[in-house]
Structure 1
Amino acid sequence: MPSPGHPGQRPPGHHLPRVALPQRGAHQGSGGLTRFVAGMEMGGIPIATVMPQLTGLPTVFVRKQAKEHGTGKSAEGGPVDGRRIVVIEDVVTTGGALLASCRQLRADGAKIDSVVCAIDREQGGRENLAVEALRLRAALTRRDLESSLPA
């Protein structure tokens, strides 16, 4: 049985908004076409794993912190230097982990201006990301989820 307030309890026929997915050659940020999607460790990885099937774009996986052994990279799966990347996360609250990872990816040469998430909890993440010229595109917001619940 779903817990109270579970999204599965929304009224029949109620539809939640959809986010436009980046597609090869279709998502053009301020600096060019998207070449990769990058899934944030751990929550963004399942979403980013499906993205190539939906968009045709290759995926890299972003560590919260580069390992000191092995490849020592902050992103695994392909080179990011000089490539336009859309970063994928499951839930954004304040955006702290996203900001740290985007800073590291940019330091590695990636070009990032967009972040896509499943849920924006609307607790300052959008504003914090905007300070560093990162646009947040959310499939759902806390407000969307709350408004979908029966009265």
Structure 2
Amino acid sequence: MTVAALSAGVSRDALVARLAQVACVSGPFALTDGQMLDSYFDEYRLAADPVLLGDVVDAMTALVPEDAEVLAGIELGGVPLVVALSAATGLPAAFLRREPKTYGSKRQVEGAAVEGRRMVLVDDVVRSGVQLLNVARMLRITGAAVVGALCVLERPLGGRLLLDEHGISLGSLLTEADLPASRTTP
């Protein structure tokens, strides 16, 4: 699933062009596994542009499953997206850490209650899907029903298939193929 709906006056092509211009950055970037990229999708540049963030969220609202009860943003890239998406949809937001906090509340999940609720995970980019699957497993242990995931950009590295194998449907605003070829990498 790709761009399903856009706010009035914003075409799909215009949104893709603005995302490519603002958030697709040339330059070295290290992934958590040590792999180096020549360019990357910078979710912070997206989040720092209030007009672009609003247009992205307007388009993403159409991807939120009707039966979703809580939107859950994964640190750190998913947090600004889930805050804006929560405001746009009226659904409560939860904030997920990869690991429990070692001080203070020592929580891994903050914000809205998740136990017994239908959750949709929100992140900036999905590659292999492993990060989303790990968070989904943690939430399921707490009693949440993780039914879907949303992202701005889906890279073709198996994430959709992995999530589907675990009962999590993935809605992506864009795929790598939607971006100009000269600006994309895994």
Displacement, 1:72? 2.6
Runs of 4+ in 1 over 3 A off after TM superposition: 146-149
Query: For residue 13 of structure 1, what is the aligned residue in structure 2?
Result: none
Displacement, 1:85? 1.0
What do you get for the CA RMSD once the two structures are aligned?
Answer: 2.3
Displacement, 1:94? 0.4
Report 1:100-111 matches (<5 A): 100-111=134-145
CA contact 2:129–2:160 (8 Å) conserved in 1: yes
Counterpart among 7, 16, 21 of residue 8 in structure 1: 21
Q: Distance in 2 between matches of 1:69 and 1:8?
A: 39
How big is each residue's C-alpha offset from its partner over 1:65-92, in whole Å with a ceiling of 9 and x where there is no partner? 1124332322101221001111100001
Once the two structures are aligned, what percentage of the paired residues are identical?
Answer: 36
Question: What secondary structure, in the 3-state scheme, does the structure 2 residue paired with 1:140 have?
Answer: strand
Report 1:84-99 matches (<5 A): 84-99=118-133
Q: Distance in 2 between matches of 1:90 and 1:138?
A: 9
Q: Distance in 1 between matches of 2:180 and 2:158?
A: 18
1:43 and 2:59 correspond: no
1:134 and 2:168 correspond: yes
Displacement, 1:148? 9.9
> Any stretches of 5+ residues in structure 2 without a counterpart?
1-18, 23-58
Aligned residue pairs, count = 129
Q: Distance in 1 between matches of 2:92 and 2:160?
A: 25
Displacement, 1:139? 0.2
Q: Distance in 2 between matches of 1:67 and 1:53?
A: 26
Displacement, 1:62? 0.5
Tell me which protein shows more helix as a share of its residues. Answer: 2
CA contact 1:38–1:87 (8 Å) conserved in 2: yes
> Any stretches of 5+ residues in structure 1 without a counterpart?
1-5, 10-17
